[in-house]
Structure formats: structure tokens, C-alpha cells
Amino acid sequence: MKRPTIAQMRLFRNQLALRMLIPTETPKLLPYKRPKKTKCGQPPEPKLTIEMIPQSCWYENLRKELGREGWDRVRKAEYRRAGHKCEICGSVGVDQGFKWPVECHEKWEKDEETLTYRLVGLVVLCPLCHKAKHIGRTLHMDSVKVHHQVIEHILKVNKWKEFDLEDYLYSVADDWRRTGGMPWAVDMSWIDSYQAADEPEVKRSRRVHRGRFASRKRRRRV
């Protein structure tokens, strides 16, 4: 597969950032023309998807909820369950230039009727798949070299062409701009039923709260 150029990678990054900020009615600000015909037809369904976290849910996660010791127990149990390999692409981080093999990612779903951002499970990912999942954070925090690696990884795992990824980034950014500013309630009650095969029951103290911008009363322990 042809590697995306630095210019193409920057185009993807800039388009994602712009589409989060500009109104829907604004026309495309960057020069891009999709070919009229493609040999492959419709692109394959993405195996590796991008997940943009709503702003009210930033920094709300199981590591914060369970504490460091509880989170370490959960993630290490998940690593053993997955055989210390990525459950999406089968890779490990040491083969990608990282010092660790895998990371644990939380799976969430949105209920727009109740404005609930609900934890529904965990999945073990290699570092590049995890950075792709959180591409918004990756584009802000990591180096251009890592941006390039992540873009190339998404293309490879999903068997996409560059314009397929660009169209997908537009749709992801449009969805985030539509829902990202809503006052979501974070529901982590899934962890109450979590039981690793070789670990004691994991307990936590809080159940549902309104996100980081809500009242500070939610931070009190019960």
C-alpha cells in the first residue's frame, strides 16, 4: 500500500480540526476533489473506528473511577484474556516502536434520548489502534511522526484509500460537532457486573454523574 505523504497527513489533520470548529453550512475550505470513479467501489466497513468523546465527558474514565490499583487489576486481567495482543489488528506495541505491547480501551455507547454516555465493555488494543480511537487527542498531543503512523495504520487495518479516510474523518467530525457539546450523563454501572475469571470482584463508589462541567457535589464519596 502506498504510504500517505506528509502533505496528505496534514490535510487529514487540518480538515478534522476545521470541521469541529466551522458551521455545517460553511463549504469545504481546503482544496480536495474526490475521483469520479474508483476501481474498488464502496470502501470496506471500518474495522478500526474513531471515537470522539463528548466534551462534558472528558477525563471521566475507569482509571479515575476505580483508582490506580483497581484499574491495574482490571486492565491486566483484560490483557491476559486477549493474550496480550490487539483485538482489532492482532499487533503488539513492541513491533510498532513502543515499549509496551497493549493498552486497555473503554467501549462506550450514546443514548441520545436520555443523553447518557454509557460504558458497555472493554477491549485490548495496540498503541496505534488506541491512538486512532482517540485521534482528537492524538492530533493535539503527539508528534507529526506519530500522526503519520496512525494515519498509515488506519489505512492498513481498514484497507482504505486516502480519500476513504478523508470522507470518514469528515463524518466523524460532523457527528462530534453535533453531539460533542451536549450535557451527557456518564454511566459506568457496567463495571458493577464485571468479574474477571481470575480476579476478585471490582467495586467502585460512584454510579452516574453529569460530566466534568457539572456541579462539584458529584465528586463526594458515598
Q: Which pairs from 187-194 meet CB under 8 Å and 24+ separation?
A: 187/116, 187/117, 187/118, 187/119, 188/62, 188/65, 188/119, 189/118, 189/119, 190/118, 190/119, 190/120, 190/121, 191/62, 191/65, 191/66, 191/74, 191/119, 194/74
pLDDT value at position 26? 37
pTM for the complete prediction? Answer: 0.75
pLDDT value at position 166? 81
Structural domain boundaries in the chain: 6-22+49-107+124-183
Q: In which residue ranges of the chain is pLDDT below 70?
A: 1-41, 195-222
pLDDT tens string 42-86:
777 899 999 989 999 999 999 999 999 999 999 999 999 999 999
